[in-house]
Amino acid sequence: MLELTVYGIIYGSIIALGAIGLTLIYGILRFANFAHGDLMSVGAYIALFLISVLFPVLGVPQERFGGTSFGWPLILAMPISAGVTALIAIALDQMFYRPLRARRASPVIVAMASLGAAFIVRNLIYIFWGPDKISYFPGLYRPAWQLPFDIRIRPDELIIVILALSLVASVYLFLQKTKLGKAMRATADNPDLARVTGINTERVRLWTWGIGAGLAALAGIMYGVNAQLYPEMGWSFLLPLFAAAVLGTVGNPYGALIGGLVIGIVQRLSTEWLNPAYQPAVAFLVLIVVLLVRPQGIFGGRS
Amino acid sequence: MALLEAQGIVSGYGGMEILHGVSIKIEPGQIVTIIGPNGAGKSTLLKTIFGLLSVKSGRVTFNGTDITGWSPDRIVRLGMCFVPQTENVFPSLTVQENFEMGAFIRTDDYRARMEEVFALFPDLRARRHVKVGALSGGQRQMVAMGRALMLDPKLLLLDEPSAGLAPKMVELIFERIKDINRSGVAIVMVEQNAREALKFSDWGYVLAGGENRFEDTGPALLQNEEIGRLYLGG
């Protein structure tokens, strides 16, 4: 049980990173971004390209810190991939979503456009890398540490949790303390008033895409480090991402954090009694229960 | 020179024309109230002046600048702020954060201004770190006005500041509006509580059917029997 909870926290912190972006985009751009999971895949595969193709050519030192995947290649690949994924998301916004906004298209139309963008992205990954599962560092031996209470954890997993939770804390501070962060929350609250107040809402939108996609890319890479990459990986994350965002009240980034951790832990704990293949169904079940019992989510004070 | 002058404004929503050539004028430091029956186009006029609706015909000049067709974020920079009737605060932000957003376009140190605004609304000072969504209707209205005042505007447009408030609160809000005016801010407001508002207005306009009907000083409009009968409920 304890071990499954630990695995749940690892998995949940990855979900949380993805769900923050999803919930911010919903709050500020007012549509459900079905391509958000695929942004995670994009981030993961860009890192794969850097690590396995570009860095060896450039002569980046390949050694890693004992028993982990972390070394110069991964440390460099994470920020670069996050930046490139952010630019891709902004480009998608300018190409697809901005013209729809200008026409005042309904949120359903924009969400459907994002579904189209998701298919495009996923199939581009198929074209370039094929359908097989790939590891960042094939054949790497990663022994697990034996901790008290019979918990076995790999150093990689420990690094992932620490990294994810510090990213989550930085996002929190960013939203709470900086002018741009406050403007993002204000725009999510009331876009019309934000415009009347003189906030450049179009620039806030660009930053929302950038930050949301960057976090999604990092979440994708962390998942790839812990497991393996495959083109459908992001798509399979979509359900837990939505469950986490809804659980934590759509539009509320702090809620998405808590929601992500809860969904991650519940999914992993369920494997104690259920076949692990049912984990997506567990996320779906949580989603349905939340919608029935408390549709406004745990942080939704006002209706 | 008038602070704000709108001449022959024609405007509306989409294809529907609501204002058929309305003109108003306000001098620096004045309070001007616009009254009239529902559908007269009072709110439409404010939104058009502030650039939220496009001007189909006519001209708006503010402080000597022709601002016809300008967008709100440019108009704000000239010193005109608008408080919408509803959804005029950021509910999940605190009082202080709402004021900070009001000062968003300021690049200088606005802390002194924030203290001045808190001085105008003492009830809000103790609640500065409370989320606005948790405040009462009257307090929210004060937050909305405070947010607009953060830019130290020359002119404040208020769309029905007393709508939906308890009578006691209406009185309080009107007192605050007088305080704001005394601090040197000119005010154009649309009001349903016409009798109360006209008492302290330097000038009043009566709109009906998207056209100017009457205009005079506030007290004179109150004494006009025809206006009393037609627009002030007897």
**With helix as H, strand as E and coil as C, how does chain A read?**
CHHHHHHHHHHHHHHHHHHHHHHHHHHHHCCCCCCHHHHHHHHHHHHHHHHHHHHHHHCCCCCECCCCCCEHHHHHHHHHHHHHHHHHHHHHHHHHHHHHHHCCCCHHHHHHHHHHHHHHHHHHHHHHHCCCCECCCCCCCCCCEEEHHHEEECHHHHHHHHHHHHHHHHHHHHHHHCHHHHHHHHHHHCHHHHHHHCCCHHHHHHHHHHHHHHHHHHHHHHHHHHCCECCCHHHHHHHHHHHHHHHCCCCCHHHHHHHHHHHHHHHHHHCCCCCHHHHHHHHHHHHHHHHHHCCCCCCCCCC
Angle separating helix axes A155-177 and A253-270, nearest 10 degrees: 160
> What are the tens digits of pLDDT across the range B38-88?
888 999 999 999 999 999 999 999 999 999 999 888 899 999 999 999 889
Q: Is this complex's ipTM strictly greater than 0.95?
A: no
Q: Is B114 on the interface with A (CB under 8 A)?
A: no
Q: Interior CA angle at B230 toward B224 and B233, to 5°?
A: 95
Q: Is A296 on the interface with B (CB under 8 A)?
A: no
> What are the tens digits of pLDDT across the range B80-122?
999 999 889 999 899 999 999 999 988 888 999 999 999 989 8
**Residue A227 pLDDT level (bands cut at 50, 70, 90):** confident
- Average of pLDDT values for A123-135? 89
Q: Is B225 exposed, middle or buried (0-12, 13-18, 19+ CB in 10 A)?
A: exposed
Contact assessment for residue A194 and residue B101, using Cβ atoms and an 8 Å cutoff: yes
The answer to whether residue A302 scores a pLDDT higher than 50 is no
Question: What is the pTM assigned to this prediction?
Answer: 0.82
Look at residues A287, A255, A295, A281 and name the one whose alpha carbon lies nearest to residue A16.
A255
Q: Interior CA angle at B212 toward B144 and B12, to 5°?
A: 60
Q: Give the gap in angstroms from C-alpha A95 to the nearest C-alpha of chain B.
A: 24
**Residue B20 pLDDT level (bands cut at 50, 70, 90):** very high
- Taking contacts as CB-CB distances below 8 angstroms, the residues of chain A near B73 are 195, 198-200
Q: How far apart are CA B175 and CA B138, in angstroms?
A: 12
What residues does B34 pair with on adjacent strands?
Answer: B190, B205
Contact assessment for residue A13 and residue A264, using Cβ atoms and an 8 Å cutoff: yes
Q: Which of A15-29, A227-241, A244-258, B206-220 has the lowest mean pLDDT?
A: A244-258
Place of tokens 């019979």: A150
Q: Is A182 on the interface with B (CB under 8 A)?
A: yes
Angle separating helix axes A201-226 and A2-29, nearest 10 degrees: 160
Contact A186 B82 (CB under 8 A): no
* pLDDT value of position A301: 58
Average pLDDT, chain A: 87
- Dihedral sign, CA of A241, A242, A244, A245? positive
**Residue A207 pLDDT level (bands cut at 50, 70, 90):** very high
- Taking contacts as CB-CB distances below 8 angstroms, the residues of chain A near B90 are 185-186, 189-190, 193-194
Place of tokens 């309305």: B22
Q: Interior CA angle at A2 toward A244 and A238, to 5°?
A: 20
Look at residues A296, A166, A291, A151 and name the one whose alpha carbon lies nearest to residue A218.
A166
Q: Is B166 on the interface with A (CB under 8 A)?
A: no
Angle separating helix axes B95-102 and B111-120, nearest 10 degrees: 120
Place of tokens 């306009």: B205
Q: How far apart are CA A206 and CA A226, in angstroms?
A: 30
Nearest to B147 among A183, A197, A252 (CB): A197
A181-209: buried (b, 16+ CB within 10 Å) or exposed (e) per residue? bbbbbbbbbbbebbbbbbbebeebbbbbb
- Domains of chain A (ranges, CATH numbers): 2-139+153-293 (1.10.3470)
Nearest to B73 among A179, A193, A195 (CB): A195
What is the domain partition of chain B in residue ranges?
4-231
The domain defined by B4-231 folds into Rossmann fold (3.40.50)
* pLDDT value of position A303: 37
> What are the tens digits of pLDDT across the range A29-85?
888 899 999 999 999 999 999 988 887 888 777 777 777 778 888 889 999 999 999
CB pairs under 8 A between A and B: 63
